[in-house]
Structure formats: structure tokens, C-alpha cells
Amino acid sequence: MQRIEALSLETSNDELNELFGAIRQKMGGVPNILRTMAQSPAALKAYLGFSAAIETGRFTGQQRELAALAAASENSCDYCASAHTAVGQMVGLDQADMQQVVAGGDLAGKDGAIVALTRKIVNQRGVLSDADIQAFRDAGFDDGHLVELVALSAHNIFTNYFNHIAATEIDFPVVPTKVAA
């Protein structure tokens, strides 16, 4: 059962109507996570602002989704694995690659370097070795990419933790992060 209530899209709150309208225009609907986050318009605005800013960065949409899937996998966030798999499909990610990342596997090349470093950022709480950073650079990335990946990781950790606390009902085709034993 969801622990933080998702707000109705039918609200008399002008601020929320404006936020929901902007989300609906961009996404075609308002996902449950955002209706739930709307319990704090300030938090929702912060999330939306961060999202909009990071989308203008140097990583492609596909690379951002791979980082999101890696964070979701490491944090066992089924909501984010489900949402980012759906978005990943929309931006043209390979289904097998997405499944591999959610299952905890590696990818090759630059995408693999993004996934690997995101996992380390999440698991090691940002404490990276010189070798971790050098491996990312050796894959063709620079300091700007590194800063951006830290930002992407923090953004995804926020939604992972939010969904754990809220127990957000998944409103996408469900993609579990852990196989039931």
C-alpha cells in the first residue's frame, strides 16, 4: 500500500494545476511518482528543475536512461526500473541492454563505463578511487562528464529513495530489480 498519497489531478490548487499541466504537456500524463511528490510543491519543482537542467547536458537520452537503470538496480527501486525501462524504450534503448543493466550486468564501451561508474557512485556513496575515475576517463569521458554523472546519480538516488519511502504504486509495466527466490 502506498504510504504517501498521490494527489488527484483534479485539484483547485492553482500552483499544482500549473505544475500538472506542464507535466502533462511534456509527458502526455502525470506519473504517480510526480502526483505523490506534489504533496510538497517545493520538492516537485526542485525535481522538475533538476530534470530539465540535466536533460540539457552532454549525455544522450539513452545514456541518461542507462544511468537511471543502473541506480534503480543498485537501489532495488522497482518503480524507477519500470519507469526508466519505459522511457528507455521511447528513446530507442535496446531491450536486452536494459534488462542486462537492471539485472546487475555490465555493458561494453562508453555505455558500460557510465553504468559501471553509476553503480560505484551509488554503492560506494560517492567515494571513488583514482582508478575508478581513470577508467571512466579512459572510456573517453572528461571532467565535465564526471560532474554530470554525479548529478545524474544524485537525481536518481533521490527518486529511488523517494519511492522506497512513499511505496509508490507502479503505473508502468512492472520491471522488478530483484528476482524472487
Written as one letter, the residue type at 101 is: V
Measured distance CA(123)–CA(175) in Å, rounded: 21
pLDDT value, residue 12: 83
Stated pTM of the model: 0.95
pLDDT mean over 21-26? 94
pLDDT value, residue 52: 96
Q: Do 81 and 66 meet the contact criterion of CB atoms below 8 Å apart?
A: no
Each residue's pLDDT tens digit, 62-118: 999 999 999 999 999 999 999 999 999 999 999 999 999 999 999 999 999 999 999
pLDDT value, residue 179: 56
Domains and CATH numbers, the chain: 14-54 (no CATH), 61-166 (1.20.1290.10)
